[in-house]
Structure 1
Amino acid sequence: MLTLVVYDIADNRRRTKLAKLLEGYGRRVQESVFECFLSLEEMKGLHEKVMRRIQADEDNVRFYWIPPGAVAKSLAIGSEPPAPPQQAYFL
């Protein structure tokens, strides 16, 4: 499922660590917004990793789960629309 991860973190070090983590899960579409196609297990794992990297009393991280029907109706201007990562199979 498409998950938008949006954050507002003032501390440069924590913000950089979070961005590097998210780069392993999806595509950056704005400075503080990532599109990630994740299974339920991947979402749970990412949530746990994010919680270990932020200070909840200072930082703001939001996860928005977008249903497949809504993704098909999305419009992107200036970049590619959301799409699951391509998988390659070698035989």
Structure 2
Amino acid sequence: MLYVVSYDIPDTGRRTKLAKALKDFGDRVHYSVFECMLDSILLNKMVARVKKIVLPNDDSVRIYAICANCERAIQVIGQGKVTKMEDIYIV
């Protein structure tokens, strides 16, 4: 499933750490937005890593699940493309 992860973190160190962690799960499409193609196991791993980094009273991270029908309706205006499932798997 496609997930869109956005964040607002005022601390530069935590923000950088989160961005590096999210790169393990998806593609950065804007400064604080990632698109991630994840199964439930990878989603749980990503959420666990996010929770280790953020401070709930200071930071905001949102994870949006995009259903297959909604994914087909995504429009990109300008540069970029919607993240797609890769046909190559690294084991």
- Fold conserved (TM > 0.5)? yes
TM-score in terms of structure 1 length: 0.91
CA deviations over 1:31-59 (Å, ceiling 9, x no partner): 10000000011111110110001101100
Unaligned regions of 5+ residues in structure 2, if any?
none
Hey, what's the Cα distance between the residues in 1 that align with 2:54 and 2:41?
Answer: 20
Q: Is the 8 A contact 1:5 1:63 kept in 2?
A: yes
Partner secondary structure for residue 61 of structure 1: strand
Aligned pair count reads 89
CA deviations over 1:26-83 (Å, ceiling 9, x no partner): 1111110000000011111110110001101100000000001111111001233313
TM-score in terms of structure 2 length: 0.91
Identical-residue share of aligned pairs (%): 37
1:25 corresponds to which residue?
25
The runs of at least 4 aligned residues of structure 1 exceeding 3 Å deviation read none
Hey, what's the Cα distance between the residues in 1 that align with 2:81 and 2:68?
Answer: 13
Between 63-72 and 75-84, report the one with greater CA deviation. 75-84
User: RMSD of the TM alignment (CA)?
Assistant: 1.3
Q: Is the 8 A contact 1:37 1:84 kept in 2?
A: yes
Q: Is the 8 A contact 1:10 1:59 kept in 2?
A: yes
The one-letter code matched in structure 2 to 1:74 is: I
